[in-house]
Amino acid sequence: MNSYKYILFDLDGTLTDPKEGITRSVAYALERMGIEVPDLDELCKFIGPPLKDSFMRFYGMSDSDAQAAVSRYREHHFSQGGLFQNVVYDGMRELLESLKSQGKTLIVATSKPQAYAVQILEHFGLSQYFEFVSGSEFDGTRVKKAEVIAHALKECGIDKARAVMVGDRSYDVVGAKSNGLPCIGVLYGYGCREELEEAGADFIVATVSELKDLLK
């Protein structure tokens, strides 16, 4: 495998497991919008894609209603502690430490608001490993994964020939391809092998340990 200098990581479902915080916040938003709340496991489909798009896609909301749902989501996610109802995947700290010691430049590229991503990394003691965090803005700017990745490439002056994206959903793969980057799909998050293969992932790994071996 190419010895990549720059490694871009998705956050939710790749660095950390945000299931509890995201599903509970989505449930809160749906309830406030007068929509019957399903089993929380059914809301895992919200992990990864931009929130507004998901409310429109899965619940047929209009643009304005979806934006209102996002506001309700953030209300719960921030004020009720949902932001930190998160778990760092086993072996992830060791992986990041290893890559950092090898002189790799690590970057976070997430559709989550950049301000939230920074807080999560700091809360879990992961910020020390990353040179830059690229995320969306609260006003809806830079919410698509392709835009997030493009922003990271530009701000960090990255040579695309020496960079790779790591993520768990098709959005990560498509976003990487749109920017001319290869992508490693991980199966320990919230995407399945079929989803990642159809999107065109260059490599697919099942565990953090396999990811570490691939990135050596």
Query: CATH number for the domain including 207?
Result: 3.40.50.1000
Is the same domain home to 94 and 78?
no
Q: Indicate whether 151 belongs to any domain.
A: yes
Q: Nearest CA to 4 among 192, 216, 202, 167?
A: 216
Average pLDDT for 117-134: 97
Average pLDDT for 139-153: 94
Give the position of tokens 């065109």.
200
Percent of the chain with pLDDT over 70: 99
Is the same domain home to 151 and 67?
no
Given a cut of 70, is residue 46 above it in pLDDT? yes
Is the same domain home to 94 and 140?
yes
Q: Indicate whether 52 belongs to any domain.
A: yes
pLDDT at 10: 98
Is 65 among the residues known to form the active site? no
Domains held by the chain: number: 2
Given a cut of 80, is residue 160 above it in pLDDT? yes
List, in order, residues 6 or more apart from 133 with CB less than 8 Å away.
Answer: 107, 108, 110, 114, 117, 118, 121
Q: Can you tell me the distance from the alpha carbon of 12 to that of 113, in angstroms, rounded to the nearest whole number?
A: 12
Q: Indicate whether 1 belongs to any domain.
A: no
Burial of 24 (0-12, 13-18, 19+ CB in 10 A): buried
pLDDT in tens, 54-96: 999 999 999 999 999 999 999 998 877 788 999 999 999 999 9
Given a cut of 90, is residue 3 above it in pLDDT? no
Q: Can you tell me the distance from the alpha carbon of 1 to that of 142, in angstroms, rounded to the nearest whole number?
A: 31
Query: CATH number for the domain including 42?
Result: 1.10.150.240
Is the same domain home to 119 and 12?
yes
Is the same domain home to 47 and 60?
yes
Catalytically annotated residue among 10, 12, 17, 172 = 10
Percent of the chain with pLDDT over 90: 90
- Coil, helix or strand at residue 168: coil
Residue 101 — pLDDT band, cuts 50, 70, 90? Answer: very high
Is the same domain home to 96 and 201?
yes
Is the same domain home to 80 and 110?
no
Q: Indicate whether 70 belongs to any domain.
A: yes
Average model confidence (pLDDT) across the chain? 95
**Can you give the residue range of the structural domain that contains 56?**
19-84
Structural domain ending residue among the three candidates 31, 53, 84 = 84
pLDDT at 2: 64
Q: Can you tell me the distance from the alpha carbon of 122 to that of 59, in angstroms, rounded to the nearest whole number?
A: 33
